[in-house]
Structure 1
Amino acid sequence: MKKAMTIVAAAAFALAGAGPALAELKRLEITAPAAAGGGYDQNARIMQQILQKEGLASGVQVTNQPGAGGTIGLANYVNNKKRTPTLMTGGLALVGAIITNKSTVTLDDTYPLARLSADYQPIVVAADSPYKTLEDLIAKFKADPGSISWGGSGPGSTDHMLYGLLAKAAGVEPSKINYVVLTSGGEMLSGVMGGHVTVGTGGYSELSAQINTGKVRALAISSPERIPGIDIPTFREKGYDVDLVNWRAVFAPKDLKAEEKQELEQAIDKMVKTEDWKAAVKQRGWSDVYMPAAEFGPFVKKEHARAESLFKELGLLK
């Protein structure tokens, strides 16, 4: 009898130590400040599926609010004072858009909840490009900056940031970059392969098929160290102090109570540890860069400061 009572007591103690079950977030809304199909939207819809499957939320709705690099969706999110649980996806590109668009609403008006997923960016040239290595490209760039055209999405985008960081590391004024704005990843690839621009970039997940089939040649990638399974040298390996992660994240309203923030933090923490989340990230060729709120808030401020400083050097800000 004593032994049985001891087992019961031990079980009760273990259950008590496990902490209370997470409350279900009812009628959760997730705003993706971009059109359907992109990284912000995909992260929102993966969250929708897993949070519901795990019983962490119910009635989850995703709404898309594209425009102005995400700043329209951000402004609507911040100014909409709904009391139902709400979240918003965003990322480094949104940080850039806030600065270049001089948005009066910023990520300081939100609660940075967690960094989730990311793409590292290779730079690529055409298969028949005379620039066989990063050293070849940089030598020509330093000798005649205007002769190298760098294709990417809008001014202040992650593409533009990467080129600016590389120019700085190579000792070339970022404002001398011959930057060519291309409207889509498809247009960028066509431009590189057709010889209309010298260099292109984008997330590895977007470019991997063309790299692996030899349609374009990757010269370096923006990860801080080699990515397992990807045979592309890093900029750091090549002697250039450059790394950039095109991260995507989730944000919450700024004015939540402490217990509400904690509840959301715990739900996201549980979500990113599921096999479904890991599989979704792997399937899309993303990197899992989860960072909880305590670290993520200061990280966002540092990223904003880095982007703002770089944009001044690129001539995007006065």
Structure 2
Amino acid sequence: MRIRTIAVALAVTAALSACGGGGGTTAASSLRIMAPAAPGGGWDTTSRTAAQAFTSVDAKRKVEVFNVEGAGGTIGLAQLAGEKGNGNLLMTMGLVMVGAIEQNKSKVTLAQTTPIAKLTEEYEIVVVPAASPFKSLADLVAAWKADPAKVSIAGGSAGGTDHITAGLMAKAAGVDPKAINYVPGSGGGDALQLLLGNKASIGISGVGEFAEHVKSGKLRALGVTSPAKLPNVDAPTVKEGGLDVEIANWRGFVAPPGLSDADKKALTDTVTRMHDSQAWKDALAKNGWIDSFKSGQEFADYLNAEQTRVKGIISEMGLVS
């Protein structure tokens, strides 16, 4: 009897050890990262880059990235909310999702998630196909004023960063933001296909999504939304092009609701170690991403403030009623 009791105790101890004493994010456990958009876009790239950085820190950890497309990430958001208490799941999100929640009148909001960390910021870039007649932002503005409907703008989700950027640029140019012809996609990959197929007049996305194609000559950059020229992009700022617009997209991680304190701490610590890795630092430099790491309550407070700010912007632009 005593031998059986000892055996049971050892089995329980081993089980607890395997799952971190009740937490779900130990060094040897698996981790799933949801990219709530199509492959090829910013959330997908961030998710897969982070996955590589996670395994660089801990080669034993299995990291899986999967895509859930649609509605500016709000379909994925709803799925995440249904994973209550799952300490082995992260979802990549950001400014795009904040706007999409308002635009799509999503019943599930970011209040039904556990904020983990803000990771990066990235400025937007305005590009045209190589054969485009638009050689500068001045050419774009002239066409916009002549007939906004004839200038098709390829970008990410409706109400997201790309859409907001287009609206702010139109407003700065004296064009009604409600009149612009914005063609939303599930990610930067959709916009890229339209541009390379010469089926869109201009494209707006994060610098990292179009920079390679600008360097190859397939696309031409008209401007970037940074306060000063970027070292890795041969383009003026949008302000230098005559439009008083400056905006940066940001991305981060949230987890399902209802996490235990132990799982929340374990996830935050795991993401912090990933952020501190050389692999992640190299990825920031390669992609032109700005390190803007915030975790825990600092990120939760930032997220609350962003929701208020973005709702005000898109309401003013007439993107939501």
TMscore range, shorter length: 0.7 to 0.9
1:260: how far off? 4.5
1:67-216 superposed matches below 5 A:
67-142=70-145, 144-181=147-184, 184-190=190-196, 194=198, 196-216=199-219
Other-structure match for 1:276: 279
The one-letter code sitting in structure 2 at the alignment partner of 1:198 is S
Unaligned runs of 5+ in 1: 1-22
Letter in 2 for 1:211: V
- Contact 2:224–2:236 (8 Å) recurs in 1: yes
Structure 1 stretches of 4+ moved >6 Å: none
Quote how far apart the aligned CAs of 1:241 are. 3.2
Q: Is the 8 A contact 1:26 1:85 kept in 2?
A: no
TM-score by length of 1: 0.77
- Structure 1 residues 237 and 259, CA gap change in structure 2 (3 angstroms): farther
**Deviation at 1:226?**
2.2
Give the aligned partner of residue 32 of structure 2: 30
Superposition deviation, residue 277 in structure 1: 1.0
Kindly tell me: are residues 44 and 150 of structure 1, through their superposed partners in 2, closer, same or farther at Cα, counting changes over 3 Å? Answer: closer
Cα pair 2:154 2:195 within 8 Å, conserved: no
Do 2:125 and 2:225's aligned partners in 1 also have CA atoms closer than 8 Å? yes
- 1:57 deviates by 7.7
Change beyond 3 A, Cα 1:151–1:269? same
Check conservation: 2:195, 2:202, Cα contact below 8 A. Answer: no
Verify the 8 A CA contact 2:129 2:196 in the aligned structure 1. Answer: no
Is the 2:41–2:209 contact (alpha carbons within 8 Å) kept by the matching residues of 1? no
**Which one is further off, 48-57 or 297-306?**
48-57
CA apart distance, 1:242: 1.8
1:250 partner amino acid: F
1:58 positional shift: 3.3
Q: SS at 1:58's partner residue? A: coil
Deviates more, 1:100-109 or 1:43-52: 43-52
| Residues 66 and 152 (structure 1), Cα distance of their counterparts in 2 relative to 1, 3 Å cut | closer
Contact conserved, 1:31 with 1:73, CA < 8 A, in 2?
A: no
Equivalent residue number for residue 16 of structure 2: none
Distance across 2 between alignment mates of 1:310 and 1:249 = 21
Aligned pair count reads 292
* TM-score, with length taken from structure 2: 0.76
Gaps of 5+ in 2: 1-24
**In 1, distance between residues paired with 2:211 and 2:54?**
30
CA RMSD of the aligned region, Å?
A: 3.1
Instruction: Name the CA distance, whole Å, in 1 between partners of 2:204 and 2:117.
Output: 26
1:286-305, Cα deviation, whole Å (9 max, x unpaired): 41333212443333334333
